[in-house]
Amino acid sequence: MDADLVALSESVGTAALTKSGQRRLLLATAESCTGGWVAQVITHTSGSSEWFDRGFVTYSNEAKTDLLGVRPETIDNYGAVSPETAAAMAEGALKNSNALIALAITGIAGPTGGSPGKPVGTVCFAWCRVGQTAETETAVFAGDREAVRRQAVLHALRGLLLRLDAK
C-alpha cells in the first residue's frame, strides 16, 4: 500500500474519531472511476471499523441510479461526470448508510472517454454531511489511468480531512 495514502487514511481516521465526538460509524464512500480504491485505502487502516461504514462502487450509470438513487435526469442533463452527479452520489451514500459524512468520486480516468469539454483526467468530487448541502469540486489530473485514479483518491481523502478538521 502506498505510504502517502496510508498516512492520509490514518489522519482521516484520527480526525473522524476526534472531531465527531463519537465512536461510531461515520463515513461512506461512493466511487465510480476509482473503483473502490478509497474504500480499500480506508479499510487497510487498522481500526477503520470505528469510522467507516460502507463503500459503494457505482461504475455504471445504472448502478448510480439503482444503489444511490441518482436521478436519471441528473445524468442525462449534466453527465455522469459532473458536480451534480457527484453531489447526488454523496447524498445517496448518506441515505443508504449509517454514515454522517460521505464522499463521492466520478471521473474520466482514460485513456479513452474524454471530450473537449471533459478531457481525460476530469474528476468530480463531492463531500456531504447529514443535513447539509454537498460541497463539490472538479479537478483535471495529468498522467495515465493509474496516475489519474491515484490523484483522485488523494484529492478525495484530503478534501475529507479538510472538512473533518473544519468542524
Confidence band for 15, pLDDT divided at 50, 70 and 90: confident
Is the pLDDT at 24 greater than 90? The verdict is: no
What CATH class is the domain 3-166?
Answer: alpha beta
Question: In degrees to the nearest 10, what's the CA dihedral of 157, 161, 162, 167?
Answer: 140
Confidence band for 118, pLDDT divided at 50, 70 and 90: very high
Spatial contact of 68 and 93, defined as CB atoms under 8 Å apart: yes
pTM, 2 dp: 0.95
The pLDDT value recorded for residue 165 is 78
